[in-house]
Chains A and B, each alone.
Chain A
Amino acid sequence: MPIIEPQLLDGAKRSTDRTIESFRRLSGGDTIFPQILAHVPAYAEAIWGAMAEALFEGRVDHRLKELMRIQLAASANDPYFSTMRSAEAVQAGLTEEDVASSLGDFHTNPRFTDAEKWALRFSYLMYRHPDQVDADFYSEGKRHYSEAQIMEMGGLIAIHYGLAVFMGTLNVD
């Protein structure tokens, strides 16, 4: 039983309806997260809007960003977001073997390119060892990605980790 009661769908405002519909891009069918956010309707639209923008739009491969998102949710001990899979990423070729590899020793796994390994290290290190995400680390990243792409990944990491930590406290499976 979630600690915060999800709002009933028929009690939601139109802006929350849009958010709930958009959330299905990630969840397939589940809508608990936007129903919890619906306690603060303006937040629901703005926060999920930013999360969706970070995950689905931009110039970094969505499949890679989905792996980073799952890795962050797992690191936040959030069963809700860590077990969710973007259907678009799965259609683009994401497999459970990819997910397991990104959660394990991805540093040496030939499944990932050097650019993908750097991106996975970016999300892996950010909340475990942020001091290792330093100027040298970013210099290495710039060999693979533009500054815009690095900011896109940084934004994804920041918002998806922060909200996964919060969801992890709410007892939602």
Chain B
Amino acid sequence: MQFDPARIDAGFYERLRDHYTESEIVELGVFIGFNVGYHTFFRTLDFYPMFTPDGRLVSQEESRRIYGETPHSHLSADIQQAVAAAAAATGGAVD
């Protein structure tokens, strides 16, 4: 949907129907559309999480240092990376 919507054609929807009802397909489509729209906009606003992975309230500058310039999805590897960065920044272990 975000990168190649032309590939979401009638055949694609036919295959989706093997797994989902029409209601579920609409639900997924609207959810994806909403998120495609908003995440691109939010990214341009250049804001970072207020909290470190261990729950510490931090400034936007510190948060940027922890989470990095390039947006990451919150896959476990990225969260582990951020936890390690937070631990290094505070000089202690972070759960």
Contacts and interface: CB of A to CB of B under 8 A. Distances in A.
A169 interface: yes
A171 B43 CA distance: 30
Contacts of B26: 4, 36-37, 39-40, 43
Contacts, number: 88
Contact of B40 (A39, A43, A130): A130
Nearest to B27: A40
Interface stretch (A61-69, A95-103, A159-167): A159-167
A162 B23 contact: no
A172 interface: no
Nearest to B32: A166
Contacts of B8: 169
Contact of B30 (A126, A155, A166): A166
Q: Chain B, interface size: which category?
A: 20 to 34
A168 B41 CA distance: 20
Nearest to B41: A158
B37 interface: yes
Contacts of A130: 40, 43-44
A135 B6 CA distance: 32
Contacts of A162: 32-38
